[in-house]
């Protein structure tokens, strides 16, 4: 599933225009394009299609970003938003209880009064883009150290964001593109009152489970429908997508508008090699550990299983995704392409006296990489709260607990908020205040037994990573076993209560100190070393950014500037044709249908994860079994595109992206359309299922009434 997962290690990025080796000879449908630099030339040349500015604006403003890591779109004037079930899953999990199990049973609100509100979901709609490159780069003066540059750059960005927020009231983020190539100010309309309208059973949304994930053919109704509210009323939205109940045709040109999370196509070969040999193995090691941990926890009782369903889903999804990415990086053919891609640019630089000196930038990146590696263990286990690109906070690896997350946010809010805006960590700047508060004051349930298990496992992980006798580990454990220490912290802390969190947040550092809360004191205990690691990490990241910036300048000069930057969880436009592919000599057709779903279930004796919800068994005879269910296209997508609308040339909603096939996992580092495919739910299947399986005719009416 293509939900965004941003690594603990942020990556700098630079545009590389020429991807060789894997791309086919004709112009490939490559690219995750900026809406202000759309692929007009390519669309005209290959498809003879010229989107108008109005066409682009409609699609842009119908597109929605989910802070839980995915994409979506408005599909009615009354604020209906469609996304994937697995994007909505975070909310479904948080508003479910042992009694009301929306994840397992699905949900349909027949009236607006029945729509339950999400606990901490934030939607953003991109309203405008402004190039602020000149203003950001003018903050950097010659002779500054990497650390000084980092501070100056951060301050310039914070100023721009604050100014914009105050002027427009819109969420304002300065986005780094082509690393040093460009800085754009993105202004977004924010919705934080979001309510659930419809979700199918997890079973059919994620039909085939882990075995079918990232595979094709598929049979998943991976959708979830919310409604955005403003001032307690359904949001009236100007831009939304017209519902097309028939889906696309084989070979038809389609467009995808969504928020791809992160690609590595512009990294140096050294950085990709480090990814292959260190970072991805590190992540897989972490996911393996967590998968085993959560699976064992879930096996103990139905209620345990319910509580960790979403975590487990996310972990398995990432594990499978990184397995696939690693396989790609270990493929010698791909390795040669990556090397050749870099060599081509290096050769061009060597031949031009003006850019020859820029070759040193590669060494600077390597050096920064080596310096980063030194603090990485501390950074990963003690610091990582989030990269700016992901919208939700995560606890660091050694303290994997929701209560710790709250404790640290309270501690740091107290320390950071009194500082001048530009000197704070980005997550505490004025421009991020609303998002921070939404997260910090979430009513998401916190289960003591889960916290106990997770924190015990984290402390064990921490102790073995640094050694039991490591002085900081000894301080963290305070003379107790991991499990006794976890129990004491969970019993003693008060941050579980939203009211306590509000009070401490409002009271600032003095109140936080006075509380003498053991979990907050733990956060304080490790705050020094964690901040040191973050400082080094960010200074080295700045050094990389500058080096990538230098390479970018050379590249722009050598190859021109009209191309797309690496994905950064910002809105992008992709396109491609509905198209099958060949695998092991067999032609895989682009569409599946409902009949195929029932066949697959029968093949597996209707046993999990191939079992059908009872409703689908009961309603089988109502259904037109030749209804198209899922389809593939060769649009260029990646994690974060989950929930992206697929539209036709008429800008009508014809499907929704929910996955890529296993061959698409290479797209992280290089484009290919030989076998890589984006997988979508067909709008025909959604229409048929809503009507005939879920008796949701009023919802269908609302969708199809929309003009």
Residues that bind its own copies (CB under 8 A): 209-211, 273, 276-277, 280-281, 284-285, 287-289, 291-292, 295-296, 299-302, 319-320, 326-327, 329-333, 335, 460, 463-465, 467-469, 477, 479-483, 604-605, 607, 609
- Nearest CA-CA partner of 9 in 567, 400, 538, 668: 538
Output the smallest distance, CB 440 to its own copies, in A: 32
Measured CA to CA, the distance from residue 92 to residue 657 in angstroms comes to 20
How far is Cα 434 from Cα 123, in angstroms, rounded to an integer?
Answer: 12
The answer to whether the CB of 79 falls within 8 A of the CB of 115 is: no
User: Packing angle between helix 332-351 and helix 302-329, nearest 10 degrees?
Assistant: 50
- The distance of closest approach from Cβ of residue 304 to its own copies in the complex, given in angstroms and rounded to an integer, is 9
Q: Minimum Å distance from CB 493 to its own copies?
A: 21
Name the minimum Å distance from CB 482 to its own copies: 6
DSSP tag of 655: E
Q: How far is the CB of 337 from its own copies (least distance, A)?
A: 13
Distance in Å, CB of 103 to its own copies, minimum: 17
Q: Of 116 and 209, which CB lies nearer to its own copies in the complex structure?
A: 209
Long-range CB pairs of 421-425 (<8 Å, 24+ gap) are 421/158, 421/159, 421/162, 422/154, 422/155, 422/156, 422/158, 422/159, 423/151, 423/154, 423/155, 424/158
**Of 250 and 302, which has the nearer Cβ to its own copies?**
302
- How many angstroms separate the CA atoms of 18 and 21, rounded? 10
Please name the helix (run of DSSP H) or strand (run of DSSP E) that holds residue 320, with its range, or none: helix 302-329
- Which backbone phi and psi does 204 adopt, to 5 degrees? -90, -25
User: Interior CA angle at 75 toward 74 and 79, to 5°?
Assistant: 60
Compute and round to an integer the Cα radius of gyration of the chain.
25
**Closer Cβ to its own copies, 414 or 482, answer by number:** 482
Return the structure tokens found at 575: 């396109």
User: Is the CB of residue 17 less than 8 Å from the CB of residue 39?
Assistant: no
Q: What is the DSSP letter of 561?
A: S
Tell me the closest approach of the beta carbon of residue 322 to its own copies, in angstroms.
11
Task: Name the nearest CA neighbour of 392 among 436, 430, 428, 426.
Answer: 436
Distance CA 22, CA 334 (A): 8
Q: Which is nearer to its own copies, 301 or 443 (CB)?
A: 301
The helix (H) or strand (E) run that includes residue 473 is helix 471-477
Looking up tokens 């910036």 gives 549
156 vs 298 by CB, closer to its own copies: 298
| Nearer CB in complex with its own copies: 195/341 | 341
Specify the residue, 335 or 559, whose C-beta has the smaller distance to its own copies: 335
Distance of alpha carbon 475 from alpha carbon 333, whole angstroms: 49
Token pair, residue 293, equals: 């941990």
Query: Toward its own copies, which CB reaches closer, 36 or 301?
Result: 301
Rounded-to-integer distance, Cα 122 and Cα 143, Å: 41
Q: Which is nearer to its own copies, 20 or 292 (CB)?
A: 292
Closest CA to 706 of 72, 58, 77, 55: 77
**DSSP labels, 361-428:** HHHHHHHHHHHHHHHHHHIIIII----TTSSS----GGG--HHHHHHHHHHHHHHHTTS-GGGS-GGG
Closer CB to its own copies, 126 or 455, in the complex:
455
- Looking at the Cβ atoms of 480 and 619, the one nearer to its own copies is 480
CB 163 within 8 A of CB 422: no
Helices 527-559 and 518-525, packing angle to 10 deg: 60
In whole angstroms, the minimum distance from the beta carbon of 587 to its own copies comes to 22
Is 316 or 435 the residue whose CB approaches its own copies more closely?
Answer: 316
CB-nearer residue toward its own copies: 259 or 600: 600
Minimum CB–partner distance for residue 612 and its own copies (Å)? 17
Report, in Å, the least distance between residue 317 CB and its own copies. Answer: 12
Q: Is the dihedral of CA 434, 170, 63, 545 positive or negative?
A: negative
Min. distance of Cβ 301 from its own copies in angstroms?
A: 8
- Name which of 563 and 661 has its Cβ closer to its own copies: 661
Give least dist CB 600 to its own copies, A: 12
Alpha carbon distance 644, 655 (integer Å): 9
Q: How far is the CB of 459 from its own copies (least distance, A)?
A: 8
Cα–Cα distance measured from residue 393 to residue 290, given in angstroms and rounded to the nearest whole number: 18
Residue among 328 and 686 whose Cβ is closer to its own copies: 328
Q: Which is nearer to its own copies, 10 or 276 (CB)?
A: 276
Cα→Cα distances 86→7, 286, 317, 436, 697, Å: 19, 21, 10, 23, 23
Collapsing DSSP to helix, strand or coil, 136 comes out as: helix
Least distance to its own copies, CB of residue 399, Å: 16
CB of 305 to its own copies, least distance (A): 10
Residue 608 beta carbon to its own copies: minimum distance, rounded to whole angstroms: 9
């Amino acid at each position: 599933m293509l939900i965004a997962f941003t690594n603990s290690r942020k990556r700098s990025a630079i545009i590389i225009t020429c991807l060789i080796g894997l791309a086919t000879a004709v112009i490939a449908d490559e690219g995750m394009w900026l809406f202000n630099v759309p692929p007009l030339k390519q669309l005209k040349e290959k498809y003879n299609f010229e989107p108008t500015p109005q066409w682009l604006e409609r699609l842009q403003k119908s597109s929605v970003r989910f802070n839980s890591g995915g994409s979506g779109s408005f599909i009615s004037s009354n604020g209906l938003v469609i996304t994937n079930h697995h994007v909505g899953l975070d909310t479904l999990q948080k508003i479910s209880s042992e009694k009301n199990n929306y994840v397992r049973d699905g949900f349909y609100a027949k009236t607006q009064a029945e729509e339950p509100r999400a606990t901490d979901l934030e939607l953003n709609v991109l309203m405008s883009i402004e190039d602020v490159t000149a203003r950001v780069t003018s903050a950097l003066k010659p002779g500054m150290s990497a650390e000084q540059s980092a501070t100056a750059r951060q301050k310039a960005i914070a100023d721009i964001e604050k100014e914009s927020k105050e002027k427009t009231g819109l969420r304002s983020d300065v986005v780094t593109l082509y690393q040093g190539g460009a800085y754009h100010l993105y202004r977004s309309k924010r919705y934080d009152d979001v309510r659930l309208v419809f979700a199918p059973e997890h079973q059919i949304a994620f039909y085939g489970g882990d075995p079918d994930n990232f595979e094709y053919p598929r049979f998943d109704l991976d959708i979830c429908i919310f409604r955005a509210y403003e001032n307690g009323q359904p949001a009236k939205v100007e831009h939304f997508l017209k519902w097309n109940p028939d889906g696309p045709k084989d070979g038809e040109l389609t467009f995808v508008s969504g928020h791809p999370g992160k690609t590595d196509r512009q990294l140096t070969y050294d950085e990709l090699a480090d990814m292959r040999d260190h970072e991805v193995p590190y992540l897989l090691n972490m996911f393996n550990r967590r998968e085993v941990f959560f699976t064992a926890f879930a096996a103990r009782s139905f209620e345990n299983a319910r509580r960790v369903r979403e975590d487990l889903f996310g972990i398995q999804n990432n594990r499978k995704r990184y397995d696939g990415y690693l396989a790609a990086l270990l493929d010698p053919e791909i390795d040669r392409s990556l090397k050749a891609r870099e060599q081509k640019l290096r050769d061009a630089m060597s031949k031009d006296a003006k850019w020859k000196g820029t070759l040193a930038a590669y060494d600077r990146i390597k050096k920064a990489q080596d310096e980063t590696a030194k603090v990485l263990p501390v950074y990963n286990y003690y610091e990582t709260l989030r990269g700016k690109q992901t919208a939700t906070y995560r606890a660091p690896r050694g303290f994997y607990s929701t209560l710790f997350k709250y404790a640290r946010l309270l501690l740091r809010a107290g320390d950071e908020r009194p500082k001048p805006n530009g000197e704070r960590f980005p997550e505490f700047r004025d421009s991020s205040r609303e998002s921070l508060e939404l997260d910090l004051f979430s009513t998401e349930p916190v289960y003591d037994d889960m916290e106990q298990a997770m924190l015990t496992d984290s402390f064990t992980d921490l102790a073995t990573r640094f050694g039991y006798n490591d002085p900081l580990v000894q301080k963290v454990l305070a003379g107790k076993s991991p499990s006794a220490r976890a129990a004491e912290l969970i019993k003693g802390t008060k941050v579980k209560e939203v009211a306590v969190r509000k009070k401490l947040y409002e009271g600032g550092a003095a109140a936080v100190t006075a509380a003498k809360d053991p979990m907050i004191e733990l956060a304080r205990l490790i705050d020094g070393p964690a901040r040191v690691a973050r400082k080094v990490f960010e200074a080295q990241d700045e050094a990389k950014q500058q080096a990538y910036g230098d390479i970018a300048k050379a590249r722009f000069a050598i190859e021109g500037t009209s191309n797309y930057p690496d994905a950064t969880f910002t809105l992008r436009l992709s396109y491609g044709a509905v198209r099958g592919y060949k695998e092991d000599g067999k032609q895989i057709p682009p569409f599946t249908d409902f009949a195929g779903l029932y066949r697959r279930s029968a093949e597996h004796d209707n046993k999990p994860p191939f079992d059908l919800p009872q409703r689908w068994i009961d309603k089988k005879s109502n259904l037109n079994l030749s209804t198209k269910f899922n389809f593939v296209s060769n649009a260029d997508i990646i994690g974060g595109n989950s929930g992206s609308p697929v539209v036709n040339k008429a800008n009508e909603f014809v499907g929704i992206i929910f996955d890529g096939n296993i061959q698409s996992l290479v797209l992280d580092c290089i484009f290919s359309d030989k076998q890589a495919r984006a997988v979508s739910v067909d709008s025909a299947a959604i229409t048929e299922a809503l009507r005939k399986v879920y008796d949701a005719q009023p919802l269908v009416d609302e969708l199809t009434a929309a003009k």
